[in-house]
Amino acid sequence: MYRLFKTLNRTAFIKALVASVVVVVLVLIGSRNLQNFDAALFAYLVGTVFAVFGIAYRYSVWLQRPPTRLYWQRSMQFLFSSMIFPYLFRSIKLFFRNIVGQRFIAYRSGTRWIGHFLMATGCMLAFAITIPLTFGWINFELKPGDDLTYFAKVFGFEAFSFSLGSPIAFITFHGLVWCSILVTIGAAIMMKRRLTNGGLIATQTFSDDWLPLILLIAISITGLGISYDYTFLEGRTYQFMAVTHAIVVILFLVWLPFGKFFHIFQRVAQLGANLYKKEGMRRGMAVCPHTKQEFATRTHIEDLKKVTEDLGFDYNRKEGINHMDLSPEGKRSALAKAHFEARKKSGKFFG
């Protein structure tokens, strides 16, 4: 316990605490002072607040690492510059392409993209439905004096209404069922890859690669169980279904900041990296002294020199050259040349 306090990152702790308090305040405001809050979802709320705390803490610690900090600062600096509109437009476009659509995965493998896209879309839709419900931001009520019209209230304001038994009602009330189907199919595709791909079999671990898939399937199946129960079993097994679902979802929420799912939040940094490259190209390219060709942006090379220095590396070579000034090919050639010289000096190239 003492070690826990000793290693506590103060900045991260304060930021995490603030984020958690903000969530609680948003719940109070959004649910109109808990008037629209669904008490049955209290356990989910506790899990979500814990997840927010953990994610904010880890994110803050992560941003304190020299390379991450630099990327973060540069992304903000480049975004909020005179180029704000083209860069904002570019970032929004890339957000839809790479975060919502995850198109970059398609270049890694087609099947993998389909699997990941189904899984991620199912999860994102499920978050979009469950988080506002858990926070009491959305609630459904029957129209007074009309027991056939249901209306949805968002932040306490009437947003839209629909007739019970209509196709819209069916689609809305089964929103999480559609999500479960997407997630289950996606996770099954990813599991098949992990069972058949030799490279993955050699490097995968249970906690990082299998547990997230098992957990997603468990959430989906237990969630479908609730629907199955009220549709076909007249609610006879409701308690069992509801409790098992709550257990796996809360496990997922508590584990969210620690395990593989943290990549969901890290992935946004890809937008920053893209912006960094774009602005770097505008500022000018670095030319390798060996190949005499452009190989990276000058900003990137200068920043890397600083980052490696911050991390305790000193790649300064004689005559004011830094090893980072060379392109990857230049570095390989420098090594080969030094090796050649050492062999030549010894008088023997082989043996």
Partner 1 sequence: MPETNYNQEMAFFVDMQRCIGCHACEMACAECETNGQESMIHVHYVDRAVSTQTTVQVCMHCEDPTCANVCPADAIHQDDFGVVHSADTSRCIGCSNCVLACPFGVPKKKEQAELMMKCNMCYDRTSAGKKPMCATVCPSQALYYGTREEIERMRPDSVPVNSFLFGKQEVNTKVNIMMPKGTHQLIIE
Among 46, 114, 251, 304, binds partner 1 (CB under 8 A): 304
Contacts of 111 (CB under 8 A, 6+ apart): 189, 193
CB of 349 vs partner 1, minimal distance in Å: 5
Site for partner 1 contains 124 (CB under 8 A):
no
Taking the least distance from each CB to partner 1, the nearer of 147 and 314 is: 314
Give the integer Cα–Cα distance in Å for 303 and 286: 12
Site for partner 1 contains 110 (CB under 8 A):
no
Site for partner 1 contains 157 (CB under 8 A):
no
Among 13, 50, 104, 178, binds partner 1 (CB under 8 A): 104
Site for partner 1 contains 70 (CB under 8 A):
yes
| C-beta of residue 286 within 8 angstroms of C-beta of residue 298 | yes
Site for partner 1 contains 215 (CB under 8 A):
no
Site for partner 1 contains 99 (CB under 8 A):
no
Closest CA to 69 of 5, 13, 12, 143: 12
Taking the least distance from each CB to partner 1, the nearer of 121 and 139 is: 121
| C-beta of residue 112 within 8 angstroms of C-beta of residue 105 | yes
Taking the least distance from each CB to partner 1, the nearer of 2 and 318 is: 318
CB of 192 vs partner 1, minimal distance in Å: 16
Taking the least distance from each CB to partner 1, the nearer of 227 and 291 is: 291
Among 13, 151, 155, 315, binds partner 1 (CB under 8 A): 315
CB of 62 vs partner 1, minimal distance in Å: 7
Site for partner 1 contains 203 (CB under 8 A):
yes
Tell me the per-residue interface mask from 239 to 278 with partner 1, x by CB under 8 A, - otherwise.
---------------------x--x--xx-xx--x--xx-
Among 9, 161, 197, 227, binds partner 1 (CB under 8 A): 197
Site for partner 1 contains 345 (CB under 8 A):
yes
| C-beta of residue 207 within 8 angstroms of C-beta of residue 187 | no
Site for partner 1 contains 329 (CB under 8 A):
yes
Site for partner 1 contains 7 (CB under 8 A):
no
Give the integer Cα–Cα distance in Å for 47 and 55: 12
Among 24, 25, 214, 338, binds partner 1 (CB under 8 A): 338
Site for partner 1 contains 153 (CB under 8 A):
no
Among 17, 21, 25, 67, binds partner 1 (CB under 8 A): 67
Among 107, 147, 195, 234, binds partner 1 (CB under 8 A): 107
Contacts 24+ apart (CB under 8 A), 84-88: 87/275, 87/278, 87/279
Is 122 buried (19+), middle (13-18) or exposed (0-12) by CB count in 10 A?
buried
Site for partner 1 contains 349 (CB under 8 A):
yes
Site for partner 1 contains 308 (CB under 8 A):
yes
Query: How does 158-193 read in b/e, with b if 16+ C-beta sit within 10 Å?
Result: eeebbeeeeeeeeeeeeebbebbebbbbbbebbbeb
Residues contributing to the site for partner 1 (CB under 8 A): 62, 65, 67-68, 70-71, 98, 104-105, 107-109, 197-199, 201-205, 260, 263, 266-267, 269-270, 273, 276-277, 296, 300-301, 304, 307-308, 311, 313-318, 321-324, 326-340, 342-343, 345-346, 348-351
